[in-house]
Amino acid sequence: MKYIYMPGLRSSNLEDSWLGPWRHVLLGDCLDCRSLNTVHKKLVQDLKSKCKMDINESYLKLVLGAAKFDIEEACLSQRCLRKGCYTGKLEHHEQENSQSNGIDDVSALASQLIREAVNELHMEDAICREPIILVLDLDVQMLPWESIPILRQQEVYRMPSVGSISIILERSQRYHELACTNAAAFPLIDPLDAFYLLNPSGDLSSTQAEFENWFRDQNFEGKAGTVPTAEELATALKSHDLYLYFGHGSGEQYLSKDEIQGLEKCAATMLMGCSSGSLRLNGCYVPRGVSLSYIQAGSPVTIANLWEVTDKDIDRFGKAVLTAWLRERMDLVDCSQCNQLVKEFEAMKIKGRKGNSRKKSASSNLTETADSGSSTNACEHRPTVGSFVGRARESCTLPFLNGASPVCYGVPTGIMRKKDL
């Protein structure tokens, strides 16, 4: 694959040229929308009463939610919606100057109201957002969308189709049910339950020196400097929560795509070899790649590289991500919100009259929690694995070349701590 160096300026140009003011459509929803809802409701009322505008309320809320990213007047002037079109500039009318001046006055007032609302939200603390999943067209899937400015610090995943998202989530829920554990909305992994394959070809001595002792200190299972059998790798993928590969390519030379797809259960994977996440186009057929094979086998998330990378830089990225995961696992503490949710989910599964009574109460509590603007699926102190990828890009010497190569295939996957580890 030919190298295309894409520094921050180039990725910004991609964002501006292709997406323009619609870039904010890619942002995830706000986790706590109480202040946003209040400001949005007041702004809609003002625009309707003072400007007599028919507002697209959904897009207006999207604009307000992006207040932390862009409050420049040049961008705001395009954004108050009127009948699904950009706002701030009303439809063009070839009328008398007096009428034209009236339209300009209304447009100026609308822009002022929006600017005031955006400034009010801009004074709030940082907005926590839900993760997003990109389903990309075949002609653009090779581009590093995760590194455009609007998404670089966001939690972003890729999946080949909308249907595949549902399949992964349903499979995860069935696994939790069979394991007699509380079914979570998203998959959960313990990063300490890991198996590593480190430098199996034997020619990445610096990578092996960087990770071998560190992996042993974490009590990870795995192999370094040797080639395992396909059976060993298949067993490791089925019996661990996390599979780490630091070697050349995607590791397909040690376990083929067909063997991966034949697994009944598959760990989350981190493939740090060159082009481990690139997809091969096959004419009119869907693209194929090892990363998608892991997803097809049931891996909840696979982190892999879109193009060739240098070993030392990608080692920095990999270690930054793993360190963040392990630190997050260590910092997990008993949370009253989490404990209450566990009790409520357990109550829902109790059979009999008493269980039905508890179920009604639990459902009521969950609804009240959701209505208050908080997320019932995850606490603010418990990010998912993909939330650390954007930060880890900055650990690279070339953050917009090597740092832009890793992407996450899969769905949001939470971090947990197993009792026996």
Q: What is the pLDDT of residue 123?
A: 64
Residue 128 is among the residues annotated as catalytic for this protein: no
Q: What is the pLDDT of residue 291?
A: 96
The pair of three-digit structure tokens given for residue 105, joined into one six-digit string: 């006055």
CA 298 to chain CA centroid, Å, is 18
Catalytically annotated residue among 266, 274, 396, 408: 274
Residue at 405: amino acid letter: S
**Helices 353-371 and 336-349 meet at what angle, rounded to 10?**
140
Helix (H, G, I), strand (E, B) or coil at 299: coil
Q: What is the pLDDT of residue 119?
A: 79
Question: Distance between CA atoms of 310 and 3, rounded to whole angstroms?
Answer: 12
Q: What is the pLDDT of residue 101?
A: 52
Question: Distance between CA atoms of 242 and 268, rounded to whole angstroms?
Answer: 5
User: From the DSSP assignment, how many helices (H) and strands (E) are in the chain?
Assistant: 14, 12
Helix (H, G, I), strand (E, B) or coil at 370: helix
Q: What is the pLDDT of residue 177?
A: 61
Question: Distance between CA atoms of 248 and 210, rounded to whole angstroms?
Answer: 16
The pair of three-digit structure tokens given for residue 43, joined into one six-digit string: 């702004």
Question: Distance between CA atoms of 92 and 262, rounded to whole angstroms?
Answer: 60
Question: Distance between CA atoms of 276 and 293, rounded to whole angstroms?
Answer: 11
Alpha helical stretches, state H, 77-148: 97-122
Residue from 248, 272, 291, 293 nearest 389 by CA: 272
Helix (H, G, I), strand (E, B) or coil at 198: strand
CB 79 within 8 A of CB 88: yes
Angle at 283 between CA 280 and CA 286, to 5 degrees: 60
The pair of three-digit structure tokens given for residue 79, joined into one six-digit string: 């954004």
- The residue with tokens 């832009």 is 404
| pLDDT average per 10 residues of sequence, the chain (421 residues) | 47 78 80 80 86 78 72 47 43 43 68 80 70 91 91 92 88 65 73 97 96 96 96 96 97 95 95 96 85 95 97 96 94 57 44 39 37 41 82 94 96 87 68
CB 252 within 8 A of CB 304: no
Helix (H, G, I), strand (E, B) or coil at 326: helix
Question: Distance between CA atoms of 417 and 420, rounded to whole angstroms?
Answer: 9
Q: What is the pTM of this model?
A: 0.78
